[in-house]
Homo-oligomer: A and B are copies of this chain.
Amino acid sequence: VARAVRDLGSSRNGRAGDASRISDYTVRRLSVYCHLLEELESDRIDVVSSAKLAHLAGTNSAQVRKDLSYFGNFGKRGRGYAVSDLKRRIRSILGIDRLWRVVLVGAGNLGSALFSYKDFSHHGFQIVAILDNDPDKVGTRWEGIEISSVARCEEVLQNTPVDVAVVTTPASEAQAVVDRLVKAGIRGVLNFAPCKVEAKSGVHLRNVNITIELEGLSFALRAEEP
């Protein structure tokens, strides 16, 4: 598979021709490299060797070179990578150099915390619409964005085109909301509701459950209590 993908690696825009052949692990490592390169850049470091980058990322330099090779030629043998250039190219590969329009579904505690999380916009995820079921919240605004009723979901998405939904509803509502959003044309979902949500193939869905991680941690700690 690696070889087949490598042959596609030099397609325009530094993108692989068939992203589905790139493993999730590779994408995760690219994310890590990108974060480390941003930190090196802010430390005014211009060049980094694959060995140094690998060390920071907790992997080895062969892995770094292999991960990058899927997407074209980076750096020169023995000269290291130009930090800013490599960062820019990985941001482009990851698609975080462009704008993704986000609908936030669920204006509760977590929705509010994520709304104020500036790395969303740093990654090109811009919240342009907010949905909630609570009549006390509907009609109010967060930094100028009006909270609309979930019942008006389709209408809102027609007026405000959106690429991605960030779901922070209660567990019992998440699947129904996602079904509805997908029907309305959403292509990507980041689910923070404390349950596993599914979507038809072709829709990119990721489950991130902060409270489930918290509970897993407290379960492990509690089991050791005297």
Give the interface of A toward B (CB within 8 A): 15-16, 18-20, 22, 24, 27-28, 30-32, 34-36, 39, 56-58, 93-96, 98, 100, 109-110, 112-114, 116-120, 123-125, 163-164, 170-172, 175, 187-188, 190, 194-196, 198, 204, 206, 208-225
* 22 A-B residue pairs with CB within 8 Å: A19-B219, A27-B216, A28-B216, A30-B219, A32-B194, A34-B215, A35-B171, A36-B172, A58-B198, A95-B225, A96-B214, A96-B218, A109-B118, A109-B119, A112-B116, A125-B218, A187-B224, A190-B213, A204-B221, A206-B213, A208-B208, A208-B213
Give A79 Cβ to nearest chain B Cβ, in Å: 22
Is the CB–CB distance between A215 and B116 below 8 Å?
Answer: no
Is the CB–CB distance between B215 and A190 below 8 Å?
Answer: no
Closest residue of chain B to A208 (Cβ to Cβ) is: B213
Is the CB–CB distance between B95 and A221 below 8 Å?
Answer: yes
Contact of A222 among B20, B34, B95, B196 (CB under 8 A): B95
Is the CB–CB distance between A221 and B163 below 8 Å?
Answer: yes
Is the CB–CB distance between A215 and B30 below 8 Å?
Answer: yes
User: Which chain B positions have C-beta within 8 A of A170?
Assistant: 35, 39
**Which 5 interchain pairs have the tightest Cβ spacing?**
A95-B222, A19-B223, A95-B218, A204-B220, A113-B117
User: Which chain B positions have C-beta within 8 A of A22?
Assistant: 219
Is the CB–CB distance between B172 and A222 below 8 Å?
Answer: no
Is the CB–CB distance between A58 and B196 below 8 Å?
Answer: yes
A213 to B191: give the CA distance in the assembly, Å.
10
A220 to B189: give the CA distance in the assembly, Å.
11
Closest residue of chain B to A15 (Cβ to Cβ) is: B223
Is the CB–CB distance between B195 and A58 below 8 Å?
Answer: yes
A58 to B32: give the CA distance in the assembly, Å.
33
Is the CB–CB distance between B94 and A222 below 8 Å?
Answer: yes
Is the CB–CB distance between B219 and A27 below 8 Å?
Answer: yes
A57 to B198: give the CA distance in the assembly, Å.
12
Is the CB–CB distance between A31 and B194 below 8 Å?
Answer: yes
User: Which chain B positions have C-beta within 8 A of A113?
Assistant: 113-114, 116-117
User: Which chain B positions have C-beta within 8 A of A119?
Assistant: 109-110, 210-211, 214
